[in-house]
């Protein structure tokens, strides 16, 4: 894979020159058949998670999926079974999810997304974190996930810290519908 091409796709997407730049484009306009599109699959995963539908998430994954829930912080989950166990343990910690994608770019079997993780803890504390993710696909299923976010911001917010103004500004961006 040519990583310069991938980087160019990501940068052009975030500059508003690539796919789904968050300027009001709808998934229907971007991909007619969301069942087979990469962005359609990721948006389906997000919608399943918002409903606490672990089965809905799992059905989108390959059996040998490798999911880095906190790239660079924790080791990955390796298999659908491991992901299910993690999601089932995590689902009760996330309430009122407003997870959304603001922009994305595709290259080969990969989809790069930029968005916002926005949810409440059981205590009512709101957590809002800018998020980037890389999703790899094989045979129409997600077989690799790498999630990137600021662990320090996550920890601060989970401890009741104030959402910084610059984060509030990022969250005001229009999401892909």
Q: What are the backbone angles phi and psi of residue 64, rounded to the nearest 5°?
A: -100, 25
Q: Residue 101 pairs with which residues in a beta bridge?
A: 115
Relative to beta strand 61-68, strand 77-78 is antiparallel
- Direct distance between the N- and C-terminal alpha carbons of the chain, in angstroms, rounded to an integer: 30
Level-2 CATH architecture, domain 3-171? Roll (3.10)
C-alpha dihedral (80, 129, 50, 95), degrees to nearest 10: 110
Distance separating alpha carbons of residues 99 and 120, to the nearest angstrom:
11
Distance separating alpha carbons of residues 33 and 36, to the nearest angstrom:
6
* Total residues belonging to the chain: 177
Distance separating alpha carbons of residues 34 and 131, to the nearest angstrom:
22
| Closest alpha carbon to 116 in 41, 58, 74, 166 | 166
- H-type alpha helices, 35-79: 38-50, 54-58
* Residuewise pLDDT in 10s, the chain (177 residues): 333 333 334 434 433 334 444 444 443 334 344 446 999 999 999 999 999 999 999 999 999 999 999 988 899 999 999 999 999 999 999 999 999 999 999 999 999 999 999 999 999 999 999 999 999 999 999 999 999 999 999 999 999 999 999 999 998 999 998
Distance separating alpha carbons of residues 49 and 94, to the nearest angstrom:
9
Beta carbons of 122 and 92 less than 8 angstroms apart: yes
Distance separating alpha carbons of residues 125 and 150, to the nearest angstrom:
17
Say how many CA atoms lie within 13 Å of 62 toward its Cβ: 16
The whole-model pTM stands at 0.79
């Amino acid at each position: 894979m040519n990583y310069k091409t991938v980087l160019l796709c990501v940068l052009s997407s975030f500059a508003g020159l690539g796919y789904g730049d968050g300027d009001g484009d709808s998934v229907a306009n971007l991909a007619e058949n969301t069942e087979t599109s990469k962005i359609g699959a990721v948006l389906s995963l997000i919608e399943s998670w918002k409903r606490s539908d672990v089965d809905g998430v799992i059905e989108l994954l390959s059996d040998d999926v490798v999911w880095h829930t906190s790239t660079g912080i924790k080791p990955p989950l390796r298999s659908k079974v491991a992901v299910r166990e993690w999601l089932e343990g995590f689902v009760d910690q996330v309430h009122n999810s407003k997870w959304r994608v603001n922009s994305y770019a595709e290259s080969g079997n990969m989809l790069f997304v930029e968005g916002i993780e926005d949810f409440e803890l059981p205590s009512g504390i709101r957590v809002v974190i800018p998020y980037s993710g890389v999703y790899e696909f094989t045979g129409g299923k997600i077989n690799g996930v790498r999630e990137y976010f600021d662990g320090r911001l996550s920890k601060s917010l989970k401890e009741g810290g104030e959402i910084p103004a610059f984060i509030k500004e990022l969250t005001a961006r229009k999401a892909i519908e």
